[in-house]
Chains A and B, each alone.
Chain A
Amino acid sequence: MAVVATGKSSTLAALSDTQLIALYLREQDARYFSQLYRRYAGKVFAKCISMLADHGLARDATQDVFIKILLNLSKFTEQSSFSTWVYSITYNYCIDLIRKKKKNILIFSEDVGRISKETEVELPDSVILEMETTRLEKVMEKLPIGDKAILNMKYIDDMSIKEIGDVLNKTESAIKMQIMRAKHRAQSLYEEIYGTEPINT
């Protein structure tokens, strides 16, 4: 630990998340938390933009999420990785924020109430993953916030179905169903906006 005290950022960069947390809790030195911030701020900010679709809101949300992380750092139990814990705080913060702002908003596609039999058919991941990025951005903006969260967790954070279920407090089968419905919803939104043009142009 004496090496850490020299304050070289390269030394801090070599420490794991759990080591940084333990050092911050013991020594209350802001440098350790700043290192965690540098590791995750970009990712948290990107998720906030994806969920809230507003640059200013995303900036404020990122700040609030990190304050929340700071205040709850001692409660981090290592049952999941630190990154999963950080992302779960981010997703739940954004969903709560939208819920508070718009009381009657749809959180998941299943809330739309007009789910057809077609949505029970499994779609390939390429429906989302091979969509051209500017088009994907437009489609994602129109998805319900819960669907955005689920697709981000599955395809960006590579979280398992169980981990997604833990974050959103839902069963694994419910999560599987919601992923499928989110893909269908994304595809139908794409068709509404771009007609029958190929997805990866």
Chain B
Amino acid sequence: MNNSLKKLQEEREAMLPPELEDRITQHVGTLTLFSSVVEVFVPNALQVVVQMVGGDELPCLKKAGRRQARSDNMDWRNPPAPSTV
């Protein structure tokens, strides 16, 4: 059977403005960049805020070895031991 609806659809498909692809590609680029920026900076910004209000390091941002390195100077209420040098 003839399908006039499909014919009409095919005619309209050919009318797609070519500049639309550039516009969408631009959006895709911007959104990809934005998501990378968010991924890199937001966790660190969040960490700064948490530490400013007296919180501990966010568990999701803990890196192997980092906790041990920082724990030497963690208790700021006691002065560091005098240098032996």
Contact = CB atoms under 8 A, between A and B. Distances in A.
A129 B9 contact: no
A30 B24 CA distance: 10
Contacts, number: 95
A132 interface: yes
B84 to A, nearest CB: 51
Given A34-B28, A37-B21, A155 B15 contact: no
Interface string A16-53: 00000000000010100110011001110111011000
Given A33-B28, A63-B23, A70-B31, A129 B3 contact: yes
Interface string B34-63: 011000000000000000000000000000
Interface residues of A, number: 38
Nearest to A135: B4
A159 B9 CA distance: 15
B24 A63 contact: yes
Nearest to A152: B5
A55 B12 CA distance: 10
B16 A42 contact: yes
A49 B16 CA distance: 10
Closest 4 CB pairs of A and B: A42-B13, A46-B12, A30-B28, A45-B16
Interface of A: 28, 30, 33-34, 37-38, 41-43, 45-47, 49-50, 55, 59, 62-63, 66-67, 70-71, 125-126, 128-133, 136-137, 140, 151-152, 155-156, 200
20 contacts: A34-B24, A45-B16, A45-B20, A46-B13, A46-B16, A49-B12, A62-B16, A63-B20, A63-B27, A67-B24, A71-B31, A126-B1, A126-B2, A128-B4, A129-B1, A129-B2, A136-B8, A151-B5, A152-B5, A152-B9
